[in-house]
């Protein structure tokens, strides 16, 4: 299995809703990521988990709450979002080569619309 | 702060043309440079270049790392309409947090029939 699977593919939510995005990989990668991508912009890093521990939080608002239940799963819990949070949310996982270089594999993304 | 600049930001060519996309970077303790292709959804991995692997080729695509000029190019020969996509360059350095890739803004390539 060489894929990163994200669900749902599309999500529409109101500003008072609570929802979650899910990500799964079975490649044995020990680093997992959440990126946010707006139209015609590059992906922006939100969170990184390394060996199931949060290692990077790029000053993301607390209305986004990540969770890594085990080495294969990564969730992003959403609560009280704003319309400007509408974007494509990309999950990725990676392994580090012996050279030290880090290769990310991305999922297909979850398209989020906040009304 | 690490910085990646891609040029041009957009490019329109005809099928069969050859294109060169550019990426320059400023990063603390360069570790690797990666090229991704993004069509409608997820970026897909193309190449990784490191200090020990400065040239890669796959079919009509090739990439070179210039460690002196702190830059990389991505060449696509005999372009096809299926090459239309955003091409992203990303760099990892080891000066800051491990696992953080810095992306450029991307080059939007449109290949017309």
pLDDT in tens, B23-63: 999 988 888 899 999 998 789 999 999 887 788 899 999 99
| Strand pairing category for A87-96 and A110-114 | antiparallel
User: What pLDDT does residue B12 have?
Assistant: 98
- Among B36, B43, B99, the residue with its CB nearest the CB of A31 is B99
Q: Using an 8 Å CB-CB cutoff, list chain A residues near B44.
A: 106
To the nearest whole number, what is the mean pLDDT of chain A? 92
* Nearest-CA distance B62 → chain A (Å): 18
Q: Which residue of A has its CA nearest to B87?
A: A42
Cα B53 to Cα B30: distance, rounded to the nearest angstrom: 13
Q: Which residue of A has its CA nearest to B86?
A: A40
Q: Report chain B's terminal Cα–Cα distance, integer Å.
A: 41
Given A56, A102, A106, which is nearest B92 (Cβ)? A102
pLDDT for B95 = 60
Give the tens place of pLDDT for each residue, A37-65: 998 888 999 999 999 999 989 889 999 99
């Amino acid at each position: 299995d060489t894929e990163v699977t994200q669900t749902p593919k599309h999500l529409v939510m109101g500003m008072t809703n609570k929802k979650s995005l899910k990500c799964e990989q079975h490649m044995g990668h020990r680093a997992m990521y959440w990126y946010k991508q707006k139209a015609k912009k590059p992906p922006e890093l939100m969170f990184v988990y390394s060996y199931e521990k949060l290692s990077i939080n790029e000053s993301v608002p607390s209305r986004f709450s990540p969770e890594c239940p085990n080495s294969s799963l990564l969730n992003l819990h959403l609560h009280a979002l704003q319309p400007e949070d509408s974007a494509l949310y990309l999950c990725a996982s990676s392994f580090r080569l012996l050279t030290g270089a880090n290769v990310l594999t991305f999922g297909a993304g979850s398209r989020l619309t906040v009304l | 702060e690490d910085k990646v600049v891609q040029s041009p930001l957009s490019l329109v060519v005809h099928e069969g043309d050859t294109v060169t996309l550019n990426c320059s970077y400023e990063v603390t303790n360069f570790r690797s440079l990666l090229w991704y292709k993004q069509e409608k959804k997820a970026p897909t991995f193309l190449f990784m270049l490191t200090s020990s692997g400065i040239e890669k080729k796959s079919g009509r695509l090739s990439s070179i790392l210039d460690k002196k000029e702190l830059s990389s190019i991505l060449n696509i020969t005999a372009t096809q309409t299926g090459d239309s996509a955003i091409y992203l360059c990303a760099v990892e350095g080891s000066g800051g947090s491990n696992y953080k890739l810095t992306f450029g803004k991307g080059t939007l390539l449109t290949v017309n029939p």
